[in-house]
Structure 1
Amino acid sequence: MKYWWILMITIFCGCEFFQPKENNPEQPIAKVLDNFLYPSDLEGLFPANISEADSSQLAAKYIEDWIKKQLMISRSQQAIDFNEAEIERKVLDYRYALMVHAYEKKYIEKNLNREVSQADIQAYYDTKADNFLLRQNIIKCLYVQVPKSTPNINQFRRNFRAYPDGNTDDLRSYVTQFATKSFLEDTTWIIFDELILGTPLEDLQNNNQFLQRTSYSETSDDDYIYFLKIFDYKISDEISPLEFIRDDIETILINKRKIALKKELEEQIYEEAKTNGLFKVFNH
């Protein structure tokens, strides 16, 4: 039976819960005081491809939540002397806000240019760089973690320390075969604290001093050896490099375009209405 949960609610709640409203031919599912919940109220709420058991479970949860909500509303009305007109005004305001938001979203999706040039990003960075202070230390580096039992570790160590000179193909091949964790994008900024998480370097007393004094580090614990070669670093509270925040600036510029389109739509509708005489301000 598709709606076996209706029968269950009938059994547990009693027949009086199923007295329908005079103007509704449906059999109600639940009732709280003078408020009824009908099967049509649940239509379209649940995915069409779920099982009958899952559908029944979701329906039962919805009904329980509906009952609790109606009880809370009833108790609130008893406890507080609400200004019904004010409540209705807020409900209308919210309804209209949802409608306007949906229309603005549709307009923006249709008209938004998401292409952001490098020149736009650079120009914004040049004028707003002071707003982009680093919150954490970042570095450009090579990082490799290998088990202590890994073969030919001395040859790898020589290649690692010699990088970018030396045999880089051998180094990358070795990392592919034996490393349990690595970062070889030596031109990409990475957050230092995230990189060293779970390594002996996590216990550093002064990260800033370490970065200022260190270009090569090799540490170990019972299981692994951790190789780190630092090519560049930036300390927290310094201005962030453009490469590190490029995506953030692109998002900011796109959001500014969205705001401009929203304003454009508002002005366009206003001017059209003004031209067509759709509104009038009365002076008293």
Structure 2
Amino acid sequence: MFSKEPKFTEVNLYRLLVLWTVFLLLLSCSDLFKKEVKKKPIARVGDSYLYQEDLAPLITENMSKGDSASFAVNYINNWASDQLLLSRAKINLSEDKLGEYDALVDDYRTDLYTRAYKEALVSQAADSLITQKQLETFYEQGKENFKLKERIARLRFVALPKNFMNKDEVGKRLKRFTPEDVRYLDSIGVQFNKLNFNDSIWVRYARIFEEIPPINVDNADKYLKKSQFFELEDSIGVYLGKIEEIKDINEIAPLSFIKPTIEQVLLSRRKIDYLRKLETELLDEAIKDKEFEVFENKK
């Protein structure tokens, strides 16, 4: 048996109104207990206010009282000038210009937010690992695009103080460079002004000129030759070096030299592909959920 449906009497209506009033009172009381934080204004232009909270983070601990006071005055004056110019601009610029600039501001805001969101998504989801196989494949497929625009070389060298006692021994071992020679040179390396034993790394000529001042643009062809050994001196010390290999302008760059560039290209392509896929999925999902639709323009 079904129970009788309760009648909506005046008593029930009265009780409902009482309950609703109590609820509103409790809600308002909870807001009263919240501590109201009032911002302290330090300047005003029209209806715009500059608050102490806006200025405080810009005052650093290393500022003296005089510097902080001067900074505050300049900041307030600059803020006031900007606000006054803005208000004058809104009055004197045409409606078309104001609309045009408002649209630009909206576009910039949208671009700023979406770009930051995309970067966050990419950093979280996109794979940043580039394998050696991927590097080699990309390199082999586009070798002609990797011609050198500057000269590079592989070399090992040491810079010795003037009157270094074992210069000849160091030179002999630097030329021969067996594992035993490497251990010997490493053991006395603290006595050198400079050293570079990693002759598998390609170095720009400009960097060589910086590290070995006696070698420069004018005499580079004389000293920077394949298998060349050099001994040079300046006012600071003596430089001993052995050139392993050189690459000239317009030669194909070695993979190891342009590896960082290729990695950036591959990562950039991967990022673009990921964002395209993301945007497609977002549109498809929005259409499916009826969140996005395009209306037909019926004439």
TM-score over 0.5 (shorter chain): yes
Report 1:1-284 matches (<5 A). 26-32=39-45, 35-42=48-55, 45=57, 51=61, 57=68, 60=72, 62-73=75-86, 81=94, 83-164=97-178, 167-174=181-188, 176-197=189-210, 199-205=212-218, 207-208=220-221, 210-212=223-225, 215-278=228-291, 279-284=293-298
Between the aligned partners of 2:39 and 2:236, the Cα distance in structure 1 is 69
Note the C-alpha offset of 1:185: 0.3
Q: TM-score, normalised by structure 2?
A: 0.74
Note the C-alpha offset of 1:251: 1.9
Q: TM-score, normalised by structure 1?
A: 0.77
- Check 1:222–1:211 CA distance in 2 against 1; reply closer, same or farther (3 A cut): closer
Between the aligned partners of 1:208 and 1:77, the Cα distance in structure 2 is 66
Note the C-alpha offset of 1:54: 7.2
Per-residue CA distance 1:54-113 (angstroms, 9 max, x = gap) = 799397264354234335545666886561111111111111112211221222122111
Per-residue CA distance 1:193-246 (angstroms, 9 max, x = gap) = 212226443434153564347611111013311111000111133221001111
Note the C-alpha offset of 1:183: 0.9
Structure 2 counterpart of 1:57, one-letter code? S
Q: Which has the larger radius of gyration?
A: 2
Contact 2:226 2:244 in 1 (8 A): no
Contact 1:141 1:231 in 2 (8 A): yes
Note the C-alpha offset of 1:124: 0.9
Identical pairs, percent: 26
Per-residue CA distance 1:105-150 (angstroms, 9 max, x = gap) = 2221221111111111111111222222223221111111111121
What residue ranges of structure 2 are gaps of 5+ in the alignment? 1-37
- Check 1:240–1:31 CA distance in 2 against 1; reply closer, same or farther (3 A cut): same
RMSD: 3.1
Aligned length: 256
Q: What secondary structure does 1:29 align onto?
A: strand
What residue ranges of structure 1 are gaps of 5+ in the alignment? 1-24
